[in-house]
Amino acid sequence: MRYKLLGRSGLRVSELCLGTMTFGETWGWGASKEVSRAQFDRFAELGGNYIDTSVNYTDGTSEEFLGEFLKGQRDQFVVATKYTLTKPDATDPNSGGNSRKNMRQSVERSLRRLQTDYIDLLYLHMWDYMTPVEEVVRGMDDLVRAGKVNYVAFSDTPAYIVAEANTRAELMGWSRFIGLQIPYSLLDRAVERDLLPMAKQWDMAVMPWGLLEAGILTGKFLNKPAEATRLNADDVKLSEKSRNVVLEVQKIAQEVGRSMAQVAINWVRQQPKAQMIPILGARTLAQLEDNLAAAEWSLSDEQFARLDAVAKIDLGFPHGFLNGNPYVFGATYARIDNHRGNPL
């Protein structure tokens, strides 16, 4: 396992992150306590130190398991958790959302479950379109100053909100947001339009999830009819484009003698568009072992380009306009002589 500095910080984290949304069977699926422990131990044995959870994962079971697993070795790990979401049947209107009240209550709950007195990285889990940005930024900074949180980050939030938050933080001398957690895969590249460029501009680490698109990129749905559009739980049908992407992943997996999952993970891991630290989520130890083995090798430039081409999306305006329009910055527009300030 190799290590990276997490965004614009001095925090050293493993190049792969262990996701724990599968820790616990409270939601009717996931891993038992024994399997969760085995995953945690194997990840640590291979040098992994970066672990991702949330106050709401498996109704708190994920954090509770982690609290037990971390006993006696808490300081050796970088633990990230999130606040925002609540139980669907909650009756307290303030038990969810991005408010300072829910932020503080959630952090105290996470600290108790994790059996620790600090959180390494606190994410805002999901933007609620109601809480003022300055309330979030100042509230998180207060938690950092109180010593309960070391660093702060965003998850599943529009780029313009994250950019405003970091601008306010810099202007006011508050804690800067160093990370961004978003869905990203060969079959879901929408974040390339604004979120990835924003993250690179602000020197934020990107923690992508959904790398395998619920197993589609492992090839297990290749025999389904190639007619419908997208994922539907137990009856997945692939569009023609998605099928072509999966087939290319399969070809490269056969070329390198590796699993399709590792190929799909490495396409994300090797992305130059921003610093990438993929989050691995597995239900079994065997799945996790296979996913972790992606760090043992890399796609060649040619293989990366083939995947990039078959999965290409239209980035739309302004990207196409600025990058592909022959008139932009061309002879049609007056250019300015930098020395004299006169049009050429």
Alpha-carbon distance 126 to 200, whole Å? 20
The answer to whether the CB of 23 falls within 8 A of the CB of 62 is yes
Helices 33-45, 61-69: inter-axial angle, 10-degree rounding:
50
CA–CA separation, 145 vs 296, rounded Å? Answer: 39
57 catalytically annotated = yes
Which value, to the nearest 10 degrees, does the dihedral of the CA atoms of residues 47, 269, 199, 95 take? Answer: -60
Cβ-contact 53, 39 below 8 angstroms = no
Q: Are 294 and 287 in contact (CB under 8 A)?
A: no
Q: Which amino acid is at 154?
A: F
Q: What are the C-alpha distances in Å from 144 to residues 136, 165, 327?
A: 12, 15, 49
Specify whether the CB–CB gap between 180 and 207 falls below 8 A: yes
Name the amino acid, one letter, at 157.
T
Cα separation of the two ends of the chain: 55
Q: Which residues pair with 336 in a beta bridge?
A: 343
Give the C-alpha separation, 84 to 71, whole Å. Answer: 26
Report the alpha-carbon distance of residue 294 to residue 218 in Å, rounded: 13
For 121-141, give one letter per residue: b (16+ CB within 10 A) or e. bbbbbbbbeebebeebbbbbb
CA distance 14 to 17: 7
Q: Which of 50, 57, 123, 151 is catalytic?
A: 57
Taking the C-alpha atoms of residue 9 and residue 151, their distance in angstroms, rounded to an integer, is: 9
Just list the catalytic residues: 57
